[in-house]
Structure 1
Amino acid sequence: MIGKVPKPGKSFGGCIEYNVLKKDAAVLYADGVRIDKVAHTIDDFNMQRKMNPSLGQAVGHIALSWSPNDKGKLDDEKMVEIAKEYLQKMKIQDTQVLMVRHKDKEHPHLHIVYNRVNNQGKTITDKFQHYNNLKFSKQLTLKYGMYMAKGKEQVNRPQLKGIDKLKYELHDTIKAAIKKVNNITELKKELAKQGIDTYFKFRSGTSEIQGISFGKGKYKFKGSEIDRSLSYSKITQAIQQNVQQRESEQVQHKQFVSDLKAAVQSQTSAFPQRQSTGGKSLLEVLLTPEYIEPMPYIYDTDERKKKRKKAKSDL
């Protein structure tokens, strides 16, 4: 399950009309609002928001999506059950809620509209929502035995928007840069070329790096918030492994060249000179990628039969 949490909005009318009037939309659950008419639903939300008129962005909107692999496990009742538990964990309680299921995509998904002005007129905070959303979405996915994709490979990136889109762009760019560099300083320089800022968190009173964050434009995220593999310790570990792998490959290549050179030197006198080497040594020719030893063309069995059959027919 994945939760998408856009910024709070100002218009209940626009949000509710988008969700309820969409083709094949189905209202699965409502608390504190009438659902006999769209106009009544909007009026009920707006009536409660007047209890806290200073809160301009009172419209809460969250989309919960599941993998197409979970279709067989999800009916309307189960989706509402999971959504209610999600709201409880997110501390979105004691307020008006509307849950609407859409069927315009291959994957099951549910839209939640809620009033950030609760039933007592107090504001429901939106602080740390993105972090909590990731945390609780994963918890509920595991609890209900839903499909858990490995990493970010199967995410439909063209469908992403806003902060989610930016996080995946940062993820892909940072992952690619890690493969090129030899240390964390080089990583910072490489990312700077692509407009990404790198920030380090140091242990109090020391120069020891304890954490890492990345920023682009006005947004800044901890590495682990983008992906668990992008914490400072995981990044430094990945860089070290890449460096060791490159060094190992270089050693293997040098050994290969050395062994080939020794073999060529020992066989030079017996090796027939079939073609001009253009002034290059035999070793240089063998190490040229384009070098291909000429091979006689051999007809396969079927082709030889066809040739004989044709020859007989021409007689």
Structure 2
Amino acid sequence: MIGKGHSISRTGASIAYGWNQEKEAEVVLKEYLAGDTPVEITEEFKIIQSQNQRCTNNTLSFIVSPTVEDGKNMSRKDLGEIAQKFLQEMKLTNHQVIAFVHRDKQHTHIHIYANRISLTGEVYKDNFIGKRSQLAADNVAKELGLTRVREVQRERLQELNGIRQEIRKIHEKVLGSRPKSLNAYIRLMQDHKVKMIPIINKSHQLQGFRFEFKGVNLKASEVHRNMSGNRLIAEILQNRSWSRSIEAPKSLQILDKTVQLSASLTTKIGKELIKGVIKRALDTGIGM
């Protein structure tokens, strides 16, 4: 089971989407609410939200998705129990909540909308809400004996094994030409129809990369662990004549932009560069 979450400002439009009858929407949970339409529910949210006018993203939106196999035979009651336990894990039991199931696709999933302002006026802290949603869904799956997120990810990667192998072969071919810069690597990958996408965090720092090929989008480490951003950057740096240095860069040129590296990525690159220096020293010694 997978959980996703973020804060939103468009309460009414989001609840209306959740209640969309074209998606065979069905209410599976409703807490501290009396309304029977999206407009009525939104107005009830606004009454509580008026206690804190400074909070603009004042609604929390979650999607909780059991696997296709787990979800296809679940009843309204089963899905309501998942929603309730998820909210308990997220510590949102003192908040207005409405949850809908959508069955318009093969993959049954639950949309949950919670008022970010509690019944007593406190603002729910939304830092790392995406990660916390994943953990909450995983804990619920474990408690209910459902397929957990790691198993879902493993199944997905297994299904995409052919694509992953193709990307890796192209990557190895491109590295074999010893590109001297990340830009050169990106252009060579693009020549083979593989698009490389930088992952930039909220601080506008580079964290890693994703690869897009034949309509499939994967993190570099999902393609293969040897393709993680720190290993890739270190290997390209070592193709340069001055790369015997073990000092990791603080920024990189990616196409037409200079991008700062996150502290964690810089540290990892530094470790890879040290490994490279040690390996060259050992190889040189063996060859003597």
**TM-score using structure 1 length:** 0.54
Aligned residue in 2 for 1:172: 219
SS in 1 for 2:124: coil
Q: Which residue of 2 aligns with 1:128?
A: 128
Aligned pair 1:144/2:115, yes or no?
no
Going from structure 1 to structure 2, the CA distance change for 1:184 and 1:36 (only over 3 Å counts) comes to closer
Separation of aligned partners in 1, 2:34 and 2:118: 17
Number of residue equivalences: 205
Higher RCO by CA contacts (8 Å cutoff, separation 6 or greater): 2
Structure 2 residue 157 is matched with structure 1 residue 153: yes
Kindly indicate whether the alpha-carbon contact (under 8 Å) linking 2:102 and 2:110 is maintained by their aligned counterparts in 1: yes
Letter in 2 for 1:172: K
Task: Specify the alignment match of 2:67 in structure 1.
Answer: 67
Task: Name 2:163's counterpart in structure 1.
Answer: none
Taking the aligned partners of 1:69 and 1:174, their CA distance within structure 2 comes to 27
| Residue 41 (structure 1) aligns with | 41
Q: Which amino acid aligns with 1:179?
A: N
Q: Map 1:63-142 to 2 at 5 A.
A: 63-71=63-71, 74-142=74-142
* AA partner of residue 88 (structure 2): Q
Check 1:184–1:88 CA distance in 2 against 1; reply closer, same or farther (3 A cut): same
CA distance in 2, matches of 1:168, 1:139: 28
Higher Rg of the two aligned structures: 1
Alignment correspondent of 1:32: 32
Aligned partners of 1:5 and 1:63 also within 8 Å:
yes
Residue 71 of structure 1 deviates from its aligned partner by 3.0
Indicate if the aligned counterparts of 1:9 and 1:60 stay in contact, CA closer than 8 A: yes
Q: Residue type of the partner of 1:149? A: V
Alignment of 1:106-255 (within 5 A): 106-147=106-147, 148-151=151-154, 152-153=156-157, 169=210, 172-176=219-223, 179=226, 187-188=233-234, 190=236, 198-201=261-264, 212=268
User: Are the equivalent residues in 1 in contact too, given 2:95–2:114 (CA < 8 A)?
Assistant: yes
- Judged with a 3 Å threshold, the aligned counterparts in structure 2 of structure 1 residues 197 and 141 are, in CA distance, closer, same or farther, namely farther
| Residue matched to 2:9 | 10
Question: Cα 1:64–1:49, aligned 2, differ >3 Å: closer, same or farther?
Answer: same
In 2, the alpha carbon distance for the partners of 1:106 and 1:29 equals: 21
Aligned mates of 1:36, 1:57 — CA distance in 2: 23
Code of the aligned partner of 1:125: K
Report the 3-state secondary structure (helix = DSSP H, G, I; strand = E; otherwise coil) of the residue aligned with 1:64: strand
CA shift digits 1:278-300 (9 cap, x unpaired): xxxxxxxxxxxxxxxxxxxxxxx
Does the C-alpha gap of structure 1 residues 193 and 26 become closer, same or farther in structure 2, counting only changes over 3 Å? same
Give a deviation string over 1:34-63, Cα, whole Å, max 9, x none: 232332212111111111111111111101
Verify the 8 A CA contact 1:188 1:198 in the aligned structure 2: no
TM-score of the pair, normalised by structure 2: 0.58
Distance 1:80 1:126, change over 3 A: same
Cα pair distance change 1:188/1:168, threshold 3 Å: closer
Question: Which structure dedicates a bigger proportion of its chain to strand?
Answer: 2
SS of residue matched to 1:169: strand
| Secondary structure in structure 2 of the residue aligned to 1:99 | strand
Structure 2 distance, partners of 1:150, 1:57, is 30
Instruction: Report SS of the residue matched to 1:56.
Output: coil
Deviations 1:172-209 (A, max 9, x none): 3245575369x95654465967678654549xxxx9x5
User: What's the secondary structure of 1:54's corresponding residue?
Assistant: coil
* Identity %, equivalent residues: 19
Structure 1: which amino acid aligns with 2:15? I
Q: Measured at CA, do residues 106 and 177 of structure 1 come closer, stay the same or move farther in structure 2, by a change above 3 Å?
A: closer
Q: Is the 8 A contact 2:18 2:100 kept in 1?
A: yes
Residue in 1 that maps onto 2:168 = none
Structure 2 CA distance for partners of 1:174 and 1:188, relative to 1, 3 Å = farther
Gaps (5+ residues) in structure 2?
161-198, 201-206, 212-217, 238-251, 284-288
Quickly say closer, same or farther: Cα 1:56–1:71, change in 2 above 3 A.
Answer: closer
- 8 Å contact from structure 1 (residues 86, 140) kept in 2: yes
